Structure 1
């Protein structure tokens, strides 16, 4: 795997136990995050931030450092409160591979030939790496990607699952779309400092 991909994972607080020679599927299976991932556009939405501030306003006033520690513990806990975050939960999806549990799951919706017009590499098997509350709400890679060191990530949505597919960038670029804890904290501080000053 490209070193920059590992660096992005570590920047975001994730870990991987995969060896340097591990293939793409094994690398993703050995990668985990103990918390959700917040897209950079969270800075435009700030879901849940004002509510947390209102609930813990006394702590903010008495001990700002403790408040921000509690804020990070809350937002970066392994929960599914709808704050616009994404969840890294890799699983294999093999709708075109005979003899697998998923075989035929997309029958009548989309053909392998149609998917192959967008998805590079083969065989047409997939690792769904993230799901989210946004659009698209599923992201995946192809283990047979021509560039397994930094494969293309694709997006699709449950309403048009694999019928509409968009390339969203390389795996390195995909992880770069997310805020580190420090970046998230800086956004929260700016917003809440202004909020508190306004009364």
Structure 2
């Protein structure tokens, strides 16, 4: 099953697994949950992306309202950061939420299969490369996360992150992503799971990022 370093990273990010003895990737990820949202570290957002570099929604306003606490009451500042940014916000903007649901677009008789047939965007051709990678002509997926990203053109875009249940690398499977505009008509390979999880911030990393931003503004 998953490499021990990945399990440690999931735990550090706040993940919990209800299945104490998973026997497959599907068993593991379907029993995974996070009680808190996650955010991508700004350092890992490519400059070429259409996304804003700042993944923390409304951060500028938060800093203006609370920057004095950085010098007067760091404990209270930490509490305010945790209260605001580790609870789910309406619209989930910038937040990664763990969904952990099975998606079976090519499995005859399932609800996903029926929906796929009616979908204007689903394109089996885009799965060909993935099928070769996992050596499975009817791959199934677990939706690991979804997020709503704020784009530079002022629009929001829902993005979904998947693990293929038949991935041959059980220790470190590949993460795939697709968005609401091209849902499974375009699929991006995000690389191995360990790399992807390292782009997401723990609570401690989140606190550090925000307080560093405050210090830079005060200096």
TM-score range, shorter chain: 0.7 to 0.9
Hey, what does 2:20 align to over in structure 1?
19
Deviation at 1:60, TM superposition (A): 5.1
Report the Cα distance in structure 2 between the residues aligned to 1:146 and 1:93, rounded to whole angstroms: 18
Moved more, 186-195 or 156-165: 186-195
CA contact (8 A) 2:104 2:140 kept: yes
Report the Cα distance in structure 2 between the residues aligned to 1:4 and 1:60, rounded to whole angstroms: 34
- Secondary structure of 1:144's counterpart equals coil
Hey, what does 1:76 align to over in structure 2?
86
Hey, what does 1:41 align to over in structure 2?
42
Aligned equivalent of 2:140, options 79, 103, 125 = 125
- Secondary structure of 2:7's counterpart equals helix
CA contact (8 A) 1:96 1:104 kept: no
- Secondary structure of 2:130's counterpart equals coil
Cα root mean square deviation, aligned = 2.4
CA contact (8 A) 2:36 2:88 kept: yes
CA contact (8 A) 2:162 2:175 kept: yes
Aligned equivalent of 1:116, options 124, 128, 144 = 128
Corresponding pairs, count: 197
TM-score normalised per structure 1? 0.86
Unaligned stretches of 5+ residues in structure 1: none
Report the Cα distance in structure 2 between the residues aligned to 1:139 and 1:50, rounded to whole angstroms: 28
Deviation at 1:21, TM superposition (A): 4.6
CA contact (8 A) 1:137 1:156 kept: yes
TM-score normalised per structure 2? 0.79
- Secondary structure of 2:177's counterpart equals strand
